[in-house]
Amino acid sequence: MTDTLDDLSTRLSGCRLCADRFAATATRHAPRPVVWFDRGARLLIAGQAPGLKVHERGRPFDDPSGTRLRDWLGLSEAQFWDRSRIAIVPMAFCFPGYDANGADLPPPPLCRATWHDALFEALGEIRLRVYVGGYAHRYHLGAKTGVTETVRGWRDHLPDAIPLPHPSWRNTAWLKRNPWFADELLPVLRARVREAME
Ligand code: SF4
């Protein structure tokens, strides 16, 4: 039997599978799944995992990365956070924590293994899939190259999908080194987003 999105949302919100794992990180936090999808979503944003700010605020991309991502997509905050139009499905729904050096830990693979198949089956018709960052590129696109080469090959995935780098401030230098991203990819991305949202 296929789970409904409502069932999945309820079960996912209560998921604590990684409690021991997160308790052993430098941040010693508890799981807080950031669940963001609903019936009718036309656009999928498949990212990496919530950061600390999103973990505290409970809303995906409610941070400077999100501000940049909304600019890339050409969406207002109200449009972006309308979960009946846009589903936001990361590789892990909880903040993975920091290691002892303060570096981001990777999204736990257990999360996608537990949730993704049922969720993507229940999501239904998605008109445009936007894959954000290397973890999403490898999982959803089977990418074998690094982020730059995967994003440089963005035309190979049109019209249904577009890979993006992570919009983190850490990638500001990358954006400067790769002006084709703003000049060529972003206008097409914004046009495809508008079409998908109609
Ligand atoms: S990361 Fe995923 S599997 Fe782990 S506790 Fe959060 S929702 Fe559950």
How confident is the model over 123-178, as pLDDT tens digits?
Answer: 988 999 999 999 999 999 999 999 999 999 999 999 999 999 999 999 999 999 99
Find tokens 């987003």 and name the residue: 193
CATH number of the CATH domain containing 145: 3.40.470.10
135 close to 106: Cβ distance less than 8 angstroms: yes
**What pLDDT sits at residue 133?**
96
Using the mean position of ligand 1's atoms as its centre, give its distance from the Cα of residue 11 in Å: 11
Share above pLDDT 90 across residues of the chain, in percent, rounded to a whole number: 94
How is residue 135 written in tokens?
A: 């973890």
Q: Can you tell me the distance from the alpha carbon of 97 to that of 30, in angstroms, rounded to the nearest whole number?
A: 10
**What pLDDT sits at residue 3?**
74
In this structure, the residue with its CA closest to atom 3 of ligand 1 is: 111
Buried b (16+ CB within 10 A) or exposed e, 115-139: beebbbebbeebbbbbbbbbbbbbb
Q: Which domain holds residue 102?
A: 5-197
Using the mean position of ligand 1's atoms as its centre, give its distance from the Cα of residue 9 in Å: 12
| Number of domains, the chain | 1
Residue 57: pLDDT above 70? yes
Average pLDDT over residues 43-52: 96
Residue 96: pLDDT above 70? yes
Using the mean position of ligand 1's atoms as its centre, give its distance from the Cα of residue 133 in Å: 19
**What angle, rounded to 10 degrees, do the helices at 5-13 and 109-123 form?**
160
Q: Is 110 near ligand 1, meaning CB less than 6 Å away?
A: yes
Residue 113: pLDDT above 90? yes
Q: Is 167 near ligand 1, meaning CB less than 6 Å away?
A: no
How is residue 115 written in tokens?
A: 């949730």
Residue 99: pLDDT above 60? yes
Cβ-based neighbour number of residue 176 at 10 Å:
10
Give the closest residue to 87 by CA, choosing from 139, 42, 132: 42
Q: How many CA atoms lie within 13 A of 192 on its CB side?
A: 23
100 close to 26: Cβ distance less than 8 angstroms: yes
